[in-house]
Amino acid sequence: MAGKDSYCEKPLAEDMYSANMLLDAINKMWDKETVLKMLSEIEKEIDETEERLAMQESLLSDSKEKSESLSKDVETLRRENVALESRLDVLSRMAVSEADGSKWLLENKREKLSGCLGEWIEVEPKYLPQIEFALGETLDALVVSEISSVEELLDALENASAGSALFAIASRNQNAEMVEKPVGVLGCASEFVSAKDSLGVLVKRLLSKWMLVNSFEEAISFSERYASSDLWFVSPEIRAVHSSGLVRGGKTSAMGILSRRAEITETQEKQNLLLTEIRVKETELEKAKELLEESERLYSSLKEDLLNLQDTKRTAEAAKNVHTNSKNSLQQQISKKEFDIQVSKDKITQALNERSSDEQLMNAEKELERIQEAFERVTENLEERQTMLRNKEEDLKELQKRNEPMGSTCFVISTSKYYMLNSEQKWIEITPFGQVASSNGGGTGEGGNTNPDPTPPTDDDIIYEGGEI
pLDDT confidence tier of residue 219, bands split at 50, 70 and 90: very high
Task: For residues 189-206, give the mean pLDDT.
Answer: 85
Kindly indicate the confidence band of residue 243, based on its pLDDT and cuts at 50, 70 and 90. Answer: very high
pLDDT top residue among 363 and 227: 227
440-445-447 Cα angle (round to 5): 145
Q: What does the alpha-carbon distance between residue 247 and residue 21 come to, in Å, rounded to a whole number?
A: 123
Banded model confidence at residue 406, pLDDT cuts 50, 70, 90: very low
Residue 344 vs residues 7, 269, 338: alpha-carbon distances, Å: 11, 108, 10
Distance separating alpha carbons of residues 130 and 122, to the nearest angstrom = 13
**Interatomic CA distance for residues 352 and 9, integer angstroms:** 14
Architecture of domain 2-77+268-367: Orthogonal Bundle (1.10)
Determine the pLDDT at residue 433: 45
Given a cut of 90, whether residue 3 has pLDDT beyond it is: no
- Is residue 422 within 8 A of residue 403, CB to CB? The reply is no
Q: How far, in Å, CA of 242 to CA of 208, rounded?
A: 13
Q: What is the pLDDT of residue 30?
A: 56
Q: Which residue has the higher pLDDT, 370 or 278?
A: 278
Rounded to whole angstroms, the Cα distance separating 456 from 360 reads 42
Averaged pLDDT for residues 103-109: 86
Q: What is the mean pLDDT of the chain?
A: 75
Q: What is the pLDDT of residue 403?
A: 45
Angle between helices 257-391 and 2-29 (to 10 degrees): 180
Q: Please indicate whether residue 437 or residue 92 has the higher confidence score (pLDDT).
A: 92
Q: Which of 60-74, 83-97, 285-299, 414-428 has the lowest mean pLDDT?
A: 414-428
Contact 94, 257 (CB under 8 A): no
Nearest to 334 by CA among 57, 20, 120: 20
| Ranges of each domain in the chain | 2-77+268-367, 108-254, 393-465
pLDDT of residue 399: 47
% of residues, the chain, pLDDT over 90: 16
Q: Taking Cα atoms as reference points, which of 241, 202, 195 lies closest to residue 222?
A: 241
pLDDT in tens, 113-158: 888 888 888 888 899 889 989 988 888 888 888 888 898 899 998 8
Better pLDDT: 52 or 376: 52
Rounded distance between C-alpha atoms, residue 87 and residue 270, angstroms: 12
Q: Is the pLDDT of residue 465 over 60?
A: no
Q: How confident is the model at residue 18 (pLDDT cuts 50, 70, 90)?
A: low
Dihedral (CA of 132, 135, 140, 145) sign:
negative
How confident is the model at residue 434, as a pLDDT? 47
Segment 205-228 shows an average pLDDT of 92
pLDDT surpassing 70 at residue 412: no
CATH 3.30.70.1620 fits domain 108-254: yes
* CA-wise closest residue to 452 among 441, 460, 462, 444: 441
pLDDT of 78: 92
